[in-house]
Amino acid sequence: MIGRSAIFIPANIPSMINSAVVLHSDSIVFDLEDTIPLEEKDSARILLREAFKSLDFIREKNILIRVNNPSTAYFDEDIKEIVPLGDYPLVIPKVDLSNMSIVNEKLERIESEYKLNYQVPIAPLVETAFGVEYINQILKSSERIIAVFWGAEDFTADMGIARTPEGSELWYSRSKLTIAAHIAGVEVIDTPFTDIKNLAGLRKDAAVAKQLGFTGKAAIHPSQIDVINEVFSPSQEEIEYSLRVVKAFTEGKKEGKGVVLENGRMIDKPVVTRAKLILKKARLGMGEEE
Amino acid sequence: MNTGDVKFINSAGEIEATAGTTNEGDVFIRVKPLHKGEGVRTTLQSRVESLYKDEISKVVRKKLQELGVSDIYIEINDRGALDYVLNARLETAILRTSRGGR
């Protein structure tokens, strides 16, 4: 499970890898793609492999790795180093339908070559117009998919449109992604908020993402983690209301009622389902397992 | 590195390569292959040299053995790197040497 927050950390900076141990994001994504200059792809890959072999905290944290574009040779070298280290989910950038089949084939080949007894999970990063348009097919294209990440910077570049602070240009694509992810039953992680000093803006953007159905949000700076975790955790008010809803519905059911009233508001099955989801999130947020 | 395995390409007749940085927590490594039989020559610059010289040498020797490299000059500028960083940077530099340096 990726959870509420996933922070991206460049895999070629030892001090940042070392300090990941103290980060309290729900997940950490070590990055071999955009934050790594082309001439340092080799060193980042080797550094990450050695870190995985040596640092105990990596086995205790929820770790993902963003590999390079599957259409490049960097991807082949990435998976050769990373896949044998364990079943850490790979974030796959620039997905479209054609490279999803390449990803599946190449991962199968590596798993077979190294005789691995696990199948590496993947999380497509949707960041093109094509990716948005074909998201339903993409999510059906591999049984490895556990989540989908949304990348608005590359998407707006691909579309040739400007990003605005209120993000109205992304409403359709964001909604399309969350609905598709919901149908597929996978987590959906919103794009990072790039103005790292603007925590109020981040809070607003994360709240919109949550409202649209995102299950979490990517972070690019440690200072963003608390805000994201807070926004994506149920509030005390929501928890208390959900407890009252479940209680009222359970008692009503004993009396043979399918619909009950709680403080004058009608409670039926969809309301109870939503309340139970909030309580589940609250338990997970407090470190409890399902 | 056994020089029989690599081609000399630069003006000095040697392939030189580097890896890492001098940023905190990292290590900057420069390597040059030596002729067969010349062995391993190391220079170390580190704030913690007096405390960790032996430990750093041990890590380097082990990595060279793992990579099958026996004749090489290694310059190490350590900025408080953990063992895994030293291992990674050394391997990267040697890999780059064998690819023609950079």
Q: What is the interface pTM, i.e. ipTM, of the complex? A: 0.85
pLDDT reported for residue B102: 54
Could you tell me which residues come within 8 angstroms of residue A240 by beta carbon, excluding any fewer than 6 positions away? none
Interface of A with B in 9-68 (CB under 8 A): 13-15, 18, 39, 42-43, 46-47, 49-51, 53-55
Q: Do A39 and B102 touch (CB under 8 A)?
A: yes
Contact A206, A17 (CB under 8 A): no
* Extended beta strands in A20-166, E state: 27-31, 63-66, 90-92, 122-126, 147-150
pLDDT reported for residue A287: 45
Q: Do A14 and B92 touch (CB under 8 A)?
A: no
pLDDT reported for residue B4: 34
Crossing angle (nearest 10°) for helices A199-212 and A171-184: 50
Which chain A residues are within 8 Å of B29, Cβ to Cβ? none
CATH class entry, domain B7-98: alpha beta
> What confidence tens digit (pLDDT) does each residue in A65-105 have?
999 999 999 999 999 999 999 999 999 999 988 889 999 99
Question: pTM score, two decimals?
Answer: 0.88
Residue A194: which pLDDT band, with cuts at 50, 70 and 90?
A: very high
Q: Do A50 and B85 touch (CB under 8 A)?
A: yes
Q: Per-residue pLDDT for B12 more than 90?
A: no
Distance of CA A108 to the CA centre of its chain: 23
A and B: number of Cβ contacts within 8 A: 46
Question: Residue B78 and residue B80: Cα distance in Å, rounded?
Answer: 6
Q: Per-residue pLDDT for B20 more than 80?
A: yes
Please name the residue that has the structure tokens 């070590």: A30
Give the residue-averaged pLDDT of A4-23: 95
Which chain A residues are within 8 Å of B88, Cβ to Cβ? 43, 46-47, 49-51
Give the residue-averaged pLDDT of A240-254: 89
Give the residue-averaged pLDDT of B39-46: 91
Residue A180: which pLDDT band, with cuts at 50, 70 and 90?
A: very high
Angstrom CA distances, A55 to A42, A50, A120, A228, stand at 20, 8, 21, 26
Domain boundaries, chain B: 7-98
Per-residue exposure over B1-35, b if at least 16 CB sit within 10 Å of its own CB, e if not: bebeebeeeeeeebbbbbbbbeeebbbbbbbbbbe
Which of B18, B89, B92, B102 is the best residue to mutate to test the A interface, defined by the most A CB atoms within 10 Å of its own CB?
B92
